[in-house]
Amino acid sequence: MLPVGTKAPDFTLNDQNGNSVTLSQFSGKKVVLYFYSKDNTPGCTKQACAFKNAYDGFKKKDVVVIGISKDSEKTHQKFAQKYDLPFIILADPELEAIKKYDVWQEKKLYGKVTMGVVRTTYIIDENGIIEKVFKKVKPDTNAQEILEYLER
């Protein structure tokens, strides 16, 4: 994971609608950047829906919410439509941002070791500095946990 106080690495990826999105275009705004492993899996769906349900709270605070996984734009588009997701989902099949943010790591499942995305959320401040890191987050409580943090 990248440490708090570090300049957030910039990247440009396509969203679920094929639009090019660059992190630095949100300079002056707080950004919640969450990394997840795969569209339409139980945990990732819970997490996305939790962000959807909390989205008004983020909008009121003028906070940008961005989800990133290695899925394709097409998969993201179907996922966003199926669950009516109101925020940006970025496709990172080349693992550009995923590796820059150090969330591509060894994972163990039933004794088998594989490489994959470790569910992590970064809060990036208005100056592009990592303000807070939430590691190994719980999908159903992550969005609310972040809103509570932002209330402080």
CATH of the domain at 70: 3.40.30.10
83 part of a folded domain: yes
44 is catalytic: yes
130 part of a folded domain: yes
5 part of a folded domain: no
86 part of a folded domain: yes
2 part of a folded domain: no
**Catalytic residue among 13, 21, 44, 64, which?**
44
How many domains, the chain?
1
7 part of a folded domain: no
What element of type H or E holds 147? helix 142-151
| Per-residue model confidence as pLDDT tens for the chain (152 residues) | 899 999 999 999 999 999 999 999 999 999 999 999 999 998 999 999 999 999 999 999 999 999 999 999 999 999 999 999 999 999 999 999 999 999 999 888 788 888 999 999 999 999 999 999 999 899 999 999 999 999 88
Q: Which residue range is the domain that position 40 belongs to?
A: 12-151
Both structure tokens of 22: 């660059």
For 13, the 3-state DSSP assignment is: strand
Question: Virtual CA dihedral for 27, 33, 38, 42, nearest 10 degrees?
Answer: -140
* Residue labelled with tokens 């997840």: 36
Are the C-beta atoms of 65 and 58 separated by less than 8 Å? yes
Whole-angstrom distance, CA of residue 149 vs CA of residue 22? 25
1 part of a folded domain: no
